[in-house]
Amino acid sequence: MASESILLSDLLQCLVECSQKAAKIAQIFRDENDLFQLLVEEKSQAEKNKRFVQDFKTLADVLVQETIKRDVGQKFPSLTSNIHGEEQNSFQNSLGESIRVELTDSKEDTATLLSKVLDGRDQIATSLALVVHSRDLICENQYSSSCLIPANNIGIWIDPIDSTAEFIHGKNKETDDLGIQHYGLKCVCVLIGAYELQSGKPILGVVNQPFYNKETDTSQWESKYFWSINCDPEFVTSDTLQSESQREERVIVLSSSESKELQDIISTKYRIVHTAGAGYKSLLVACKKVDLYVLSQGTTYFWDTCGPHALLSTQGGGIVKFDEVMNVTDIRNSGGLLDKQIKYFSKGENVAIDSFRNANGIIAFRNVEDVIELIELLHEREYMSNK
């Protein structure tokens, strides 16, 4: 039987609309400060990201993820089994009751479920349920195309709320002179990436900043989204990614937890900027605010990188494995830098979470030459990635 095909532009439209709905859910949670503290639950040791002493998941994470899975699955039923996210769909309320967040077609059922998690706060539960089941958050048409892709070759990775710590703390710091936020709500992103199951190549990415700007008059948050299609013959990006950089200096964004040795070497040739959030760091590269995002540690996962990876690939860049490119002794003559890019695959039964970890680091880039120059600098200074 022939495989079902779907319009690439229809999938894009669906994922953009899902990201906007996700942003609205995140905004509702963040505006309920007294309630927000109730919703934070420390992750179990099995789920915990090794980089953090305390890593949290929230009902907001789970609800956003399940909403996206539901909406995409309703529009494209054949994709349902290959839609995966960071979070489990269970949550524990303050009374110690374990609750599974499963969404039906009924907003009344969703409101009842959320009210149970929220210890009877019916008003906020109803508000959230209205957004989850809303059909009014429709965006303008993003892109029209006749390009068809086989549904049985598409997988999707979701990070419902990347940079959860910044989401929880809720700070809104001013940007520096490069227009980069070091920490705070602007670093929070919804990340959605579609990829080819056979090749592992990202073909469509959506990144949404739910807290991009706060209106002075209304005190309401405005989101901003970015998207890209990287599927031959379609190579297209949103207008939000097409601004030109005015920078003169070379800039690399890092995590503040990187080793002093690595930072000292990089600082001899580049300006270093520290920010929060893997998704936000990759977005800075895609938006031309920095040249590279370098991470020498294995603290990101497929859900962190799949969406941003598509944004970068459409610009001729991508995300390569840090340890693999570091181990190439003559990077200019290797001819295979782009072959070192992350390849994505789907969850299977009883597959450990570490299977989806980008072990030993990543480099996000727009230009291959930028990666080559960095690796040559690190080799010149005798930096070893296995330290």
The rounded distance, in Å, linking the Cα atoms of 46 and 353 is 9
Residues forming the annotated binding site? 86, 159, 161-162, 304
Q: Would you say residue 138 has pLDDT above 90? A: no
Beta-sheet strand order (sheet of 221-231):
83-85, 154-162, 189-196, 202-214, 221-231, 234-237
Q: Model confidence over 223-265: pLDDT tens digits?
A: 999 999 999 888 999 999 987 677 789 999 999 999 999 999 9
**Are 170 and 56 within 8 A, CB to CB?**
no
Specify the pLDDT at position 46: 59
162 is catalytic: yes
Tell me which residue of 358, 366, 289 sits closest to 321, measured CA to CA.
358
The rounded distance, in Å, linking the Cα atoms of 239 and 226 is 8
Which residues face 271 on adjacent strands? 251
Amino acid at 289: K
Tell me which residue of 264, 262, 385 sits closest to 320, measured CA to CA.
385
**Are 366 and 288 within 8 A, CB to CB?**
yes
Annotated catalytic residue within 66, 87, 166, 304: 304
161 is catalytic: yes
- The encoded tokens of residue 105 equal 């077609």
Amino acid at 136: D
- Classify burial at 77, counting beta carbons within 10 Å of its beta carbon; exposed 0-12, middle 13-18, buried 19 or more: exposed
Three-state DSSP state, 332: helix
The mean pLDDT of 129-150, rounded to a whole number, is 87
Annotated catalytic residue within 58, 67, 110, 164: 164
Specify the pLDDT at position 211: 95
Query: Which run of H or E residues covers position 38?
Result: helix 33-39
Q: Would you say residue 39 has pLDDT above 60? A: no
- Classify burial at 233, counting beta carbons within 10 Å of its beta carbon; exposed 0-12, middle 13-18, buried 19 or more: exposed
Amino acid at 258: E
Q: Model confidence over 361-381: pLDDT tens digits?
A: 999 999 999 999 999 999 999
Amino acid at 188: V
The Cβ of residue 14 has, within 10 Å, a number of other Cβ atoms equal to 20
pTM of the model: 0.92
The rounded distance, in Å, linking the Cα atoms of 295 and 254 is 7
Three-state DSSP state, 369: helix
Q: Provide the strand spans (E) within 163-288.
A: 189-196, 202-214, 221-231, 234-237, 251-254, 271-274
Q: Would you say residue 385 has pLDDT above 60? A: no
Question: Using omega within 30 degrees of 0 as the cis cutoff, is the peptide bond preceding 308 cis?
Answer: no
105 is catalytic: no
Three-state DSSP state, 187: helix
The rounded distance, in Å, linking the Cα atoms of 117 and 103 is 14
**Are 80 and 151 within 8 A, CB to CB?**
no
Annotated catalytic residue within 17, 66, 71, 86: 86
Percent of the chain with pLDDT over 90: 60
The Cβ of residue 15 has, within 10 Å, a number of other Cβ atoms equal to 27
Annotated catalytic residue within 66, 159, 166, 291: 159
From residue 312, give the alpha-carbon distance in Å to each of 319, 341, 366.
Answer: 8, 11, 6
Look-up: residue for tokens 């597959």?
351
DSSP result, 118-161: TTT-HHHHHHHHHHHT-S--PPPP------EEEGGGEEEEEEEE
**Are 234 and 51 within 8 A, CB to CB?**
no
159 is catalytic: yes
Residues forming the annotated binding site for Mg(2+)? 86, 159, 161-162, 304
Specify the pLDDT at position 50: 46
Angle (CA) 252 274 49, round 5°: 110
Q: Model confidence over 267-299: pLDDT tens digits?
A: 999 999 999 999 999 999 999 999 999 999 999
Annotated catalytic residue within 25, 58, 61, 66: 61
Residues 163-172 as b or e (16 or more Cβ within 10 Å = b): bbebbbeeee
Q: Model confidence over 293-346: pLDDT tens digits?
A: 999 999 999 999 999 999 999 999 999 999 988 887 767 766 667 778 999 998
Q: Model confidence over 173-210: pLDDT tens digits?
A: 767 778 899 999 999 999 999 999 999 999 999 999 99
The rounded distance, in Å, linking the Cα atoms of 253 and 189 is 17
Q: Would you say residue 1 has pLDDT above 50? A: no
